[in-house]
């Protein structure tokens, strides 16, 4: 029998996520956000007209926005589970 954290469906059809998985996901996303923000700060010091720098900045901005959205969703899911649980 596996002791891995899992996601499952509750009676209402919504997904519940193991608390340990939520904590690990939150930590991972927070770390990734910090790294992306640091990379963006470094890019600010480079020539903003350079095509490669512009492309990297856009890519990192997109990744940062995505990670923040995922973290927000995970935080909301954890709050819903805490209220329901």
Helix%, strand%, coil% for the chain, nearest 5: 70, 5, 20
pLDDT number for residue 15:
64
Q: Using 50, 70 and 90 to split pLDDT, how confident is the model at 10? A: very low
Which of 5-19, 44-58, 66-80 bottoms out in mean pLDDT, i.e. has the lowest? Answer: 5-19
DSSP state letters, 6-57: -EEE-TTS-EEE-HHHHHHHHHHHHHHHHHHHHHHHHHHTS-TT-HHHHHHH
> pLDDT-derived band of residue 11, with 50, 70 and 90 as boundaries?
very low
pTM attached to this predicted model:
0.75
Give me the pLDDT at residue 4, please: 47
């Amino acid at each position: 029998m596996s002791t891995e954290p899992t996601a499952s469906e509750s009676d209402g059809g919504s997904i519940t996520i193991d608390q340990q998985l939520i904590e690990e996901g939150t930590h991972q996303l927070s770390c990734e956000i910090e790294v992306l923000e640091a990379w963006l700060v470094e890019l600010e010091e480079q020539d903003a007209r350079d095509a490669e720098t512009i492309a990297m900045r856009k890519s990192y901005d997109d990744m940062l926005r995505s990670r923040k959205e995922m973290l927000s969703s995970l935080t909301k899911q954890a709050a819903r589970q805490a209220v329901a649980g």
